[in-house]
Structure 1
Amino acid sequence: MTDILAAFAWVFDPTNWAGPGGIPVRLGEHVWYSLLTLILAAVIALPIGFAIGHTGRFRGLAVGISGALRAIPTLGLVVYLALITLNLSIIPPLIALTILAIPPVLAGAYSGLESVDRRTIDAARAMGMTELQILFKVELPLSLPLIIGGLRSAALQVVATWTVAAILPVGGLGRYLFDGLAVQKYDEMLGGSILVIALALVTDGVFAIVQRLVVPRGVAAGKVQDVRTKDPWRPLGPSVPNHPLGTSL
């Protein structure tokens, strides 16, 4: 308990909020690294996921590759890339964490498009829509919640894993953990951990709000209407509507 109180005291110490290594600077670095990683993963994974979800081809291959990428130890890949490239900048962890973020983004993209009712797509084709029009005007709007869900999962993984990437001389909130460990300042280590947890919770909350907002109005209204039209007092047995007593038999 004393260590936790010391960690919170470290977080709220004004001296830790100033200077080039202050909390605002490290927080900004962490957010920038995470955002850049997520953008790169989205640029790579979303077009592939859309193509797979729209055409239905190569789904098995995508699932296999995603599973293989998930199995790669991220920290080991970061160190390996740093050693073979002799590069101690953000490039090795950026590559490694982009690889980590691709599977959930890819899964969210193709599963989102696959969740769209085939009858809706057939109706769009019958109206004369082209394949691109179907993709951008029908499939993407209906699948946005699942796509955002994939980005949400990837963002949480990236925010958490950029912390351990500070084993290299890069910035971010993970700097507090490794610098604190080097000089045995455990309040700094716990304080950095608290900041990472807070950032992850805020990130999850933001994506949860966005995921809720992108639900199409017609879909949301349909769900509400379905719930309201259900009669919890409807008899379970077969009924005779024109029976003079109006009861179930």
Structure 2
Amino acid sequence: MNLLSFINAFFSDSSHWQGYDGIPTRLGEHIQYTLQALAIAAVIALPVGLITGHYGRGGNALALIAVAGRALPTFGLLVLMTLLVGFGMVNVMTPLVVLAVPPILVTTYEAMRSVDPAPVDAARGMGMSEPGVLFQVELPAALPLILSGLRSAAIQIVSTATIAAYVALGGLGRYIVDGLYQRDYEKVVGGATLVAGLALVTLGVFWAVGRLAVSRGVRSRAL
């Protein structure tokens, strides 16, 4: 069978669309893991990136953090967390968050540093407070790049959240792990196709968010 035949056989099988191992259930679990990890990473990385970028300090330290975070092997960290804390969501969220923090952190910092200093200086000259400058002047101008960092992190999480299946959790990785164990290559290809499709949908979601959240003037300057 070729790849298209595997895909067609997987999605045309009605048993894959119902029950605890059905596509809707596994897709919902995968989205839940992705949103949780992205939210935790954003809560950690966005404030740090915004503040350090606003004051122009800590760029070298952030670069080191980013390099260290990217150097850590995700699967190895999953195994280590499993040995330390046992099976559960913590040992899955930890490597996913570690994976997602660097792109959000570095991109947010660079986005803030790339803002045109003229309107920032004008805002300060008019007596605007530092939080006002940050949230009313710099953040709207930096938003396109910040969203690109969040998008990159989200895509990485979607692609990597399949590791949850290795520690007895759900998600689309169940099809890949169980399919390999059972030598059911329809299931393996179907799971991989779903992950790729979810990644494309994620790209579309961030494109739509960018169209809605970023003003037209800022968007045109970012192109």
State the TM-score, normalized to the length of structure 2. 0.95
Query: How does 1:153-164 map onto structure 2 within 5 Å?
Result: 153-164=152-163
Q: Hey, what does 1:238 align to over in structure 2?
A: none
The aligned residue for residue 5 of structure 1 is: 5
Match of 1:71 in 2: 71
Residue in structure 1 matched with residue 47 of structure 2 by the alignment: 47
Q: Is the 8 A contact 1:145 1:212 kept in 2?
A: no
Which digits, 9 at most, give the CA deviation of each residue in 1:7-63, with x for residues without a partner?
322123221111111110000000000000000000000000011110001111011
User: Is the Cα contact below 8 Å between 2:10 and 2:190 reproduced in 1?
Assistant: yes
| Partners of 1:222 and 1:143 in 2: CA distance | 11
- Does structure 1 conserve the Cα–Cα contact (< 8 Å) formed by 2:144 and 2:219? no
Asked whether the 8 Å contact 2:10–2:16 carries over to 1, the reply is yes
The one-letter amino acid of 1:114's match is R
> Is the aligned partner of 1:15 residue 2:21?
no
Q: Unaligned 5+ residue runs, structure 2?
A: none
What's the counterpart of residue 245 of structure 1?
none
Write the letter of the residue equivalent to 2:186: D
Query: Separation in 1 of the partners of 2:199 and 2:2?
Result: 24
Distance in 2 (CA, whole Å) between partners of 1:152 and 1:223 is 16
1:223 deviates by 8.0
- Counterpart residue type for residue 64 of structure 2: G
Shift of 1:146: 0.6
User: What SS class does the counterpart of residue 128 from structure 2 fall into?
Assistant: coil
Matched residue, 1:230: none
Seen in structure 2, the aligned counterparts of structure 1 residues 11 and 139 have a Cα distance that, compared at 3 Å, is same
Q: Does 2:178 align with 1:182?
A: no
Point out where structure 1 has 5 or more consecutive residues left out of the alignment. Answer: 225-249
Query: Residues 124-203 of structure 1: matches in 2 within 5 Å?
Result: 124-203=123-202
- The equivalent residue for 1:219 is 218
Measured on the aligned residues, the alpha-carbon RMSD in Å equals 1.6
Aligned position for 1:98 = 97
User: Contact 1:144–1:215 (CA<8 Å) still a contact in 2?
Assistant: yes
The separation in 2 between residues aligned to 1:116 and 1:222, in whole angstroms, is 11
**What is the CA–CA distance in structure 1 between the aligned matches of 2:185 and 2:221, rounded to whole Å?**
53
Task: Give the number of equivalent residue pairs.
Answer: 223
> CA separation in 2, counterparts of 1:185 and 1:164?
18
- Secondary structure in structure 1 of the residue aligned to 2:25: helix
Deviation at 1:4, TM superposition (A): 3.1
Larger radius of gyration: 1
Quick one: which amino acid aligns to residue 194 of structure 1? T
CA distance in 2, matches of 1:220, 1:91: 38
The alpha-carbon deviation at position 167 of structure 1 amounts to: 1.1
Taking structure 1 as reference, are residues 221 and 180 closer, same or farther at Cα in structure 2, changes over 3 Å only?
closer
More helix by share: 2
CA distance in 1, matches of 2:222, 2:95: 40
Per the TM alignment, residue 222 of structure 1 is displaced from its structure 2 partner at its CA by: 6.5
1:48-93, CA deviations, whole angstroms, 9 ceiling, x for partnerless residues? 00111100011110111111110100011001110122x1112101
Q: Which amino acid aligns with 2:106?
A: A
Quote the offset at 1:212 in angstroms: 3.5
Q: Aligned equivalents of 1:220 and 1:205: distance in 2?
A: 16
Counterpart residue type for residue 34 of structure 1 = T
The answer on whether the counterparts of 1:75 and 1:165 sit within 8 Å (CA) in structure 2 is no
Match of 1:33 in 2: 33
8 Å CA contact 2:10, 2:187 repeated in 1:
yes
- Give the % identical residues: 48
Q: 1:126 to 1:198 in 2, by over 3 A?
A: same
1:36 and 1:25, CA in 2 relative to 1: closer, same or farther beyond 3 A?
A: same
* 1:64/1:221 CA distance change after superposition, 3 Å: closer
